[in-house]
Amino acid sequence: MSKLDVLIAGSTGYIGVQLVSLLIKHRYIRIKYLCGNTSVGKKISFYDKSLNDKKLPRIVKFNQKFLNEVDVIFTALPNGEAQEISKKLLSNNTLIDLAADFRLVKASEYLKWYKKRHKAPKQIKNSIYSIPEITGKKIKNYKIISCPGCYPTSILLPLIPLIKNKLINIDNIIIDSKSGYSGAGRSVHFKYKNKNLYESLSAYGVGFHRHNSEIEQTIKNFTKKKFKFTFTPHLSPMFRGILSTIYLDLNKNVNARKIHTCLNNFYKKHIFVKILKFNSLLNTNDVINTNYCNISVCKSRYSNKIILLSAIDNLIKGGAGQGVQNMNILYNFNINEGLK
């Protein structure tokens, strides 16, 4: 099988560097261009010493001419920049965006949540929001693949099967999520320099975090009923990983065991989602440096309630790994190619 030529725009951020480390292990990928703005001329090993492969190109500034030479463009850029690139795509190009540029299906919603006008509203119809285990091969009909945010990935993977099968009361879903500080990008060290980032736990975006928009939009795809959820994110003093705790009320004649069975059946053919034994505790350490999402169904002290635990690596399953997984589906590669 011939190799795909790939360009990575935003290759020096935490997600971009993680993407490079995955793609150099992918048998059917050749990294043609690594692009950055403030790092032109540097080697990617400047950002990660393990990436010292001599075949990796030096970092260059993005040029539209490069699109003639590549099949896949990965974008891990500040919000808004992938929209500009999308307007220049050629017929042979596929764009896989790891930022938020095409996560919302309405330009007006993007303006509402990101406080920026969408620069490529006509391209939204050519894009799809893709959690691989949920979307599957539908992505083959689209030129632009939008990968979900890290928090929504950890939340929607356990929630969607239960909503789809009408097992839970969706009037009061409560979600508490804690993320490693790498989720905020390299600028986090400056943004939180006065907040004891490495030793304290911080709540932020309470009630109005941008990822509320993704969660709401996706849930609407699986129910016609009105629903309410409360999502509170926290920045944790660890570099990577997300642990989401979700509190749910059960519908009548549903118990915690039935929830566990539903999730087991839904994901039994999906190797990157692991449903742990009933009532198991979990931690982020078990998923760090992997593309797995571990999910546990736990009993509550009340029979009509349950607690879901979900853990991912925000830089892999919540970022670069999900991008590679979507690409593998798109091009009929083995689903775990580059992700073993």
Cα distance from N-terminal residue to C-terminal residue, the chain: 19
CATH topology for the 4-147+318-330 domain: Rossmann fold (3.40.50)
- Whole-structure pTM value: 0.95
Average pLDDT over residues 272-292: 97
Rounded Cα–Cα distance for residues 295 and 308 (Å): 7
Q: Residue 292 — pLDDT band, cuts 50, 70, 90?
A: very high
Q: Residue 192 — pLDDT band, cuts 50, 70, 90?
A: low
Which tokens hold the place of 77? 């850029």
Which CATH number applies to 151-314?
A: 3.30.360.10
Residues designated as active site: 150
Secondary structure (DSSP) of 54-85: TTSPPEE---GGGGGG-SEEEE--STTHHHHH
Res. 252: pLDDT tops 70: yes
Res. 186: pLDDT tops 70: no
Q: Are strands 293-299 and 305-312 parallel, antiparallel or unpaired?
A: antiparallel
pLDDT digit string (tens) for 92-118? 999 999 999 999 999 999 999 999 999
Res. 201: pLDDT tops 70: yes
Phi first, then psi: give them for residue 5, nearest 5 degrees: -90, 130
pLDDT on residue 100: 97
What number of residues does the chain have? Answer: 340
Whole-number average pLDDT of the chain: 94
- SS3 (DSSP) at 122: helix
Q: Residue 197 — pLDDT band, cuts 50, 70, 90?
A: confident
Under 8 Å between Cβ of 231 and 212: yes
pLDDT on residue 340: 86
Rounded Cα–Cα distance for residues 200 and 237 (Å): 6
Count of Cβ atoms closer than 10 Å to residue 264 Cβ = 14
Q: Domain limits of the chain? A: 4-147+318-330, 151-314
